[in-house]
Chain A
């Protein structure tokens, strides 16, 4: 797993398919046929992992969307990005 900072840029792996449905996201990793359900924030992170925006930009976008404490939000997003990377959903875009 890579060391994640606010400048890290992620993209969804090419074998990941997902559907937004009433706020949540159902994620299917094609190569493993694994199915996950993400909550609304998780679904937003998946949307934001477009290979262009950095983790810091995700946090800015999420701050405008959700009324969350900035420190808590930063911690949660960094942790979640790591979990998604470890689960094979996201990959780091080389700088």
Chain B
């Protein structure tokens, strides 16, 4: 299968400056050796706690951040070091939807100029054609055609997110990186926007990288799901098998922490102690093993914990602290 996007061993480190002379004293390892692929028309969900590097990864894929190491290829072409002039045509194929539509839409621009801008930047169409396209886009995302001359602040949160989606699909991209697209929305509006995203995916064959912290939403929209912890992917699998049969201790804890909307449901909760460690000075061994103070932590210090296939299409970090003994035997 031809990958639409493939990311290999990507690292993004942000320098930390300090001292009297503001020299670099360290680095935030926001994304640390991450590899993943996305097929055309597929949704890859990316979950994790805040600060785990999921947004940084998303932004690096659309080249808003420059990676320190690793390789990003899009449609078979290496774009890791592509210059700005080479990136521009690529942006037609790769778009982004942001979390807070009130901040990602320019309040001084009308809806028409927001939606027209992608066509202008890429020099597509005449004025009349662009007017028709803008009207079509509004219709497609379910906004009345009378909204073209309004400003973004005149809309509710859900409608603004629809404008953000219309802008992202304007140039008929192949991949959209969605960074928490529904987390700022109310429950009833959230389901409207999710449905719209599913419809658009079916119609246009879009692929999504769907970044979110709401695991139920991610499960609903994704084909495969990757779980990130402290800059690394710890588990990646088909959505159904990840949720039904999580192997990594962190995934298990994350899933058990979701409140279930059924007061009669009885469940075992795995309570995690403490917080995510700082990515400036991460533990030398298994990051999650360190948080759990696992007895086998010593064994993982300075060791590679590679993502290994444990069952068909189900990858998990080969970490003795976070896998059951049987599972660890399978991957080691």
> Are these two chains actual partners, yes or no?
no
Q: Taking beta carbons and an 8 Å cutoff, which residues of B are in contact with A?
A: none
